[in-house]
Chains A and B, each alone.
Chain A
Amino acid sequence: MTTLYTSDHEWLRIEGDVATIGITDYAQSQLGDVVFVELPKVGRSLKKAEAAAVVESVKAASDVYAPITGEVIEVNEELAAEPALVNSDAGGKAWFFKLKIADNSELGGLMDEAAYAAHTA
């Protein structure tokens, strides 16, 4: 299992041909209190960099982008019901959706943990 990061502060956990996607703890700390999460529909095909989900904090709405191309195979219904999970457990329980990876080569452009730490330093 590998965890990768985007410069837009999404994380991806890669297990076989499935990527589980969420936003980083750094991102949630910048957003503040999350009050609403809009998730993509299961079955939707997402292109890399396409707006896939929306996180609304008390003050503003922010897009979550698909870090890679793929098909949405599962969304986190628990997160839709309890958006505050993003603040309490961004890297764990607050995953957003799972993508069936379309093109493994896209993973090469993403950051590892050390590179992401440097990016947010």
Chain B
Amino acid sequence: MLARETSPLKQTPLHALHLARGAKMVPFAGYDMPVQYTAGVLKEHLHTRGNAGLFDVSHMGQLVLKAKSGNVADAALALEKLVPQDIVGIAPGRQRYAQFTNDDGGLLDDLMVANFGDHLFLVVNAACKAEDEAHLRAHLSDACEIVSLADRALIALQGPKAESALAKLCADVSAMKFMDAGPRRVADIDCFVSRSGYTGEDGFEISVPADKAETLVTALLDNPDVLPIGLGARDSLRLEAGLCLYGHDIDTTTTPIEGALEWSVQKVRRSGGARAGGFPGADKILAQFAQGASRRRVGLKPDGRAPVREGAALFADPTSTEQIGKVTSGGFGPSLNAPVAMGYLPISLSALDTTVFAEVRGQRLPLKVAATPFVPNTYKR
């Protein structure tokens, strides 16, 4: 019999603070992470929508991509070999959502790319960060230095009171617009701040040196509008916002078009654009732009109160035996007080208001194809 591998869970710089705040901890992407605090997922979710929620996302990967030439445009051009996004066009002080693609047009990871003036700053998913770094080194080492910022924590402050809370520690964040990004001094600590997040709310992500993380977080939590929020509510918030969770809603088998992420591929990289193609899987992805894909990620609203969760098989009618798709994320949306889900359907069944059926505990429950986000986003554009 094989011994089960029991590698110890890693801890973020905020681990002790989570425990002191009464967090329930769970293993996530190799880290011991807070899934909820004492208030519970429902209250934490609603607090974020109404006030401000503070999330520890230090498990995510932070990388610097710096051109050996010293010119950030060369780093941007190099990165365009690995992603279908317009990286050259990211202005200094701005950030953009991107995806690493594979040769089949599938997605290796999704990431944020910021132009910090003389280099690019990347944030990637925790579960993919080692592979992402290796991928960057394998393909871009000739032109770029790749530095993993393992000594930094990352926190997200999300919700309608995020701006007022953060402005107390750094006045000029109020002037930032959605997807502005760059170095800022917050509570006398040198940080990188972006006006972004993954909850559908206005808010900020703050990269902070690991040894200053607890100081910064304590300063933010001194504000009664701000509560620490666990991964449980982070998941329900991003689901209500219709945002993809890598490894669930998108993965190596889904293209940007199938994943309904066309908006993230700028025209300059599409057929006819000045820098069309040139990324892994370009043939397939550009062909799908022209001809469409056979399936698509859609929002799904179950008719009843029963949550329809990830993995549920989808059918065209209550009796058919042929599975047509599956739910990739699903649960209860506390802001909507109703279940919500996302999943893949054949194009012919992906139009808004189409009714399909999910198999849940042997029953076929009806769901309607619905527009996302389920809860309107409140980004400050």
Contacts and interface: CB of A to CB of B under 8 A. Distances in A.
A105 to B, nearest CB: 30
Given A33-B40, A33-B42, A36-B332, A56 B232 contact: no
Contacts of B306: 36, 38, 56
B296 interface: no
Interface in A73-102: 83
Contacts of A38: 306, 361
Interface residues of B, number: 19
B236 interface: yes
A27 interface: no
Contacts of A36: 305-307, 332, 339
B307 A35 contact: yes
Interface string B29-48: 00000011000111101000
B280 interface: no
A58 interface: yes
24 contacts: A32-B36, A32-B40, A32-B42, A33-B41, A35-B42, A35-B307, A35-B332, A35-B339, A36-B332, A36-B339, A38-B306, A54-B361, A56-B306, A56-B307, A58-B42, A58-B232, A58-B236, A58-B331, A58-B332, A59-B232, A59-B235, A59-B331, A61-B309, A83-B305
A100 to B, nearest CB: 24
Contacts of A58: 41-42, 45, 232, 236, 331-332, 334
A83 B164 CA distance: 36
Nearest to B360: A61
Nearest to B235: A59
A61 B312 CA distance: 13
A89 to B, nearest CB: 16
Interface of B: 35-36, 40-43, 45, 232, 235-236, 305-307, 309, 331-332, 334, 339, 361
B42 to A, nearest CB: 4
Contacts of A54: 361
Interface residues of A, number: 13
Contacts of A59: 35, 41, 232, 235, 331
A68 to B, nearest CB: 22
Interface in A15-68: 32-33, 35-36, 38, 54, 56-61
A5 B148 CA distance: 53
Contacts of A60: 309
A59 B361 CA distance: 17
A32 B230 CA distance: 13
A26 B361 CA distance: 25
A74 B233 CA distance: 35
Nearest to A83: B305
A60 B309 CA distance: 8
A94 to B, nearest CB: 16
Nearest to A87: B40
Nearest to B338: A35
Nearest to B26: A59
Q: Which of A36, A58, A60, A83 has the most CB of B within 10 A?
A: A58
Contacts of B42: 32-33, 35, 58
A35 B305 contact: yes
Contacts of B232: 32, 58-59
Nearest to B361: A54
Contacts of B331: 58-59
A82 B45 CA distance: 19
A70 to B, nearest CB: 21
Given A56-B332, A61-B309, 9 more contacts: A32-B36, A35-B42, A35-B305, A36-B306, A56-B307, A58-B334, A60-B309, A61-B307, A83-B305
Contacts of B43: 33
A2 B248 CA distance: 47
B153 to A, nearest CB: 25
Contacts of B235: 59
Nearest to A54: B361
- Which 6 A/B pairs are nearest by Cβ-Cβ distance? A33-B42, A58-B41, A35-B332, A36-B305, A58-B332, A56-B307
